[in-house]
Amino acid sequence: QENDDHGKYKQRLLVVANRLPVSAIRKGEDSWSLEISAGGLVSALLGVKEFEARWIGWAGVNVPDVVGQKALTKALAEKRCIPVFLDEEIVHQYYNGYCNNILWPLFHYLGLPQEDRLATTRSFQSQFLAYEKANQMFADVVNQHYEEGDVVWCHDYHLMFLPKCLKKYNSKMKVGWFLHTPFPSSEIHRTLPSRSELLHSVLAADLVGFHTYDYARHFVSACTRILGLEGTPYGVEYQGKLTRVAAFPIGIDSERFIRALDLTQVQEHMKELQERFKGRKVMLGVDRLDMIKGIPQKILAFEKFLEENAYWRDKVVLLQIAVPTRTDVPEYQKLTSQVHEIVGRINGRFGSLTTVPIHHLDRSLDFHELCALYAVTDVALVTSLRDGMNLVSYEFVACQEKKKGVLILSEFAGAAQSLGAGAILVNPWNVTDVATAIGRALNMLPAEREKRHKHNFLHVKSHTAQEWAGTFVSELNDTVIEAQLRTRQ
C-alpha cells in the first residue's frame, strides 16, 4: 500500500473495465509503446485523492505469445494498469457478440438481433458462455491482485457477471458496479434470454450505480418483476442484505477544457476554422459512429432544414465528426455505408463547386483540435436515439464561455436531465422536430442564448467527473461498513 502526502496509507481502488485507458502498439517481440488516453474515467479517478487507483482490463490487442504478454504486463505496470488477455475467439464471441451485438443495442432500446428472436439460440448461447468465461477471466485477475481493504469498482455492461464471481472468491470484498449505458425498462430487459442471471450477479455487488434516477428505477423494477424480489427506495433486498442502488450522474473535467482554450495551439486552430467558415454558421456533431447516436436521423433533419429554408443554404455548414468504433460488428459496417450514402446525396443536392453543406469525417480529432472546434461552433447537435449520459454535450458547453452557442439535445440522452433547461430538447426520431429546432437555434437572440448557456455552464462546472468518482467510491466504502455494522448488531 502507498502513503499519501501526509505519510498515511492510502486505500487502493481497483478499477475494472473491459478496456484499459491505454492504447498499446507492439514495437517488437518484447517491446510495446503505450499511450494513455486522457478520457473521462482517467481524469475522474485522478481527482479521487484518498485512493490509489489501479486499472484492470483488456488492452484491446491480441497477444498470443508469452513473451509479448510478459513485456506488455511489465510496460503496463508502470502506468498502474494490469492486463486481462483475451484471445481472438473470446473477443469475437464476448466483445463483438454478446456485449456489442446483444447487450448494447438492447440496453439502448434497439431490441435483440433478429436471429436470436427466431429461437436459433445457438449463437446466442455460445456468446453468452463466452461472456461468462470472459467475466471469470477478469475475476481471476482481480482476485490475484486483490489485497484486504481494497475497494473494487466494476464498470459497464461488459462486466455484469463480475460482482458474483468476485464475491464467490471473497464475500468480504467491497464491490461496486456502475453502468455507463441506460438500463432499459424492465419490459425490454425481460426479453433477454439471460435476464435473470445478469440481475442476480449484479445484485451480488454492495453498491449499484447508474447515471440517472430513471435507469436505477428500471433496474429495481426488473429485480422486482423478473426475480420477484423486494424493492425499497434505497435498493433491493437480496439474500438477507440490502444491495444499494442509486443514481450518480457523471460529469467531465471541465477545467481541462476551459484551460485548453487559452493554449496557443488551440487559438491557432480556432483562427483557421473561423477563416475557413467565415460568413457561415457552424453546426457540429461529434459522435462515435454508432447506431445509438442517431447520425442518419440527424443528417436527414439537416437536409429537411435546408430544403425548407433556402435562405440558409449558403450560410450554414454541418461538421460531423464520426469516430469509427467496433468495426468488426456487421451492424456498424452497415451504418458507415448508410451515413456515407446520405451525406453524399445531400452534398450532391445542396453543394456548389466551392462548398458543401456537410463536412463528414470518419476519424477522431486530437484534444486541441476538438476544443477549438467546440469553441467556434454556433450550434451543437447531440441527437442520440438513446445515450447513457453523453459527455459531448458537456464538453461543448465547457468550451462556449465566449460564444454562448446553442445546444440541441436529445431528450433520450441522460444529459437531458441535467442540461435540459439550457438546451433545446428534441425527439431525435422526429426529423421535423429536429429541423425546427435547428432553425430556432440559428435564429436565437443573444439574450436567450446567454441565459441558456449560463444555466448549463454552471452545471458542467460544478458537477465534475472527479466529484462523481469520489462520491461513488466513498459511498461504496460506507455502504460496506454500514452493512458490516448491521450484521454485527
Three-state DSSP class for 33? strand
Least CB distance to ligand G6P at residue 180 (A): 4
Least CB distance to ligand G6P at residue 64 (A): 21
CB nearer ligand G6P, residue 32 or residue 332? 332
Least CB distance to ligand G6P at residue 273 (A): 27
CB nearer ligand G6P, residue 19 or residue 403? 19
Q: Which residues bind ligand G6P (CB under 6 A)?
A: 19, 156, 180-181, 325-326
CB nearer ligand G6P, residue 63 or residue 317? 63
Burial of 304 (0-12, 13-18, 19+ CB in 10 A): middle
Q: Are 196 and 206 in contact (CB under 8 A)?
A: no
Q: What are 58's three cell numbers? A: 483488456
CB nearer ligand G6P, residue 298 or residue 326? 326
Q: For residue 294, which of 221, 390, 373, 215 has the smallest C-alpha distance?
A: 390
Q: What are 485's three cell numbers? A: 455494522
Q: Are 191 and 165 in contact (CB under 8 A)?
A: no
Distance CA 211, CA 299 (A): 28
CB nearer ligand G6P, residue 127 or residue 479? 127
**Total length of the chain:** 489
The CA distances from residue 262 to 114, 207, 217, 398, 432, in Å, are 50, 40, 42, 13, 38
- DSSP secondary structure string, 152-168? EEEESGGGTTHHHHHHH
- DSSP secondary structure string, 199-262? HHHHHTSSEEEESSHHHHHHHHHHHHHHH-PEEETTEEEETTEEEEEEE----B-HHHHHHHTT
CB nearer ligand G6P, residue 131 or residue 238? 131
Least CB distance to ligand G6P at residue 100 (A): 6
Least CB distance to ligand G6P at residue 395 (A): 14
Taken in order 413, 417, 422, 428, is the CA torsion positive or negative?
positive
The CA distances from residue 144 to 46, 56, 83, in Å, are 24, 11, 12
CB nearer ligand G6P, residue 204 or residue 329? 329
- Give the bridge partners for 281, in sequence order: 316
Q: For residue 131, which of 181, 89, 73 has the smallest C-alpha distance?
A: 89
CB nearer ligand G6P, residue 327 or residue 443? 327
Least CB distance to ligand G6P at residue 319 (A): 22
Three-state DSSP class for 463? coil
CB nearer ligand G6P, residue 294 or residue 422? 294
Least CB distance to ligand G6P at residue 210 (A): 12
CB nearer ligand G6P, residue 156 or residue 206? 156
Residue 390 zone, left/alpha/beta (φ > 0; ψ -120 to 50; rest): left
Least CB distance to ligand G6P at residue 177 (A): 13
CB nearer ligand G6P, residue 156 or residue 253? 156
Least CB distance to ligand G6P at residue 17 (A): 7
Least CB distance to ligand G6P at residue 158 (A): 7
Distance CA 341, CA 256 (A): 37
Burial letters for 240-258: b for 16+ Cβ neighbours within 10 Å, e otherwise? eebbbbbebbbbbbbebbb
Strands (DSSP E) found in 109-156? 151-155
Least CB distance to ligand G6P at residue 145 (A): 21
CB nearer ligand G6P, residue 163 or residue 405? 163
- Give the bridge partners for 210, in sequence order: 247
Residue nearest to ligand G6P (CB): 180
Least CB distance to ligand G6P at residue 264 (A): 31
Burial letters for 93-105: b for 16+ Cβ neighbours within 10 Å, e otherwise? bbbbbbbbbbbbb
The CA distances from residue 442 to 122, 405, 453, 462, in Å, are 51, 9, 15, 28
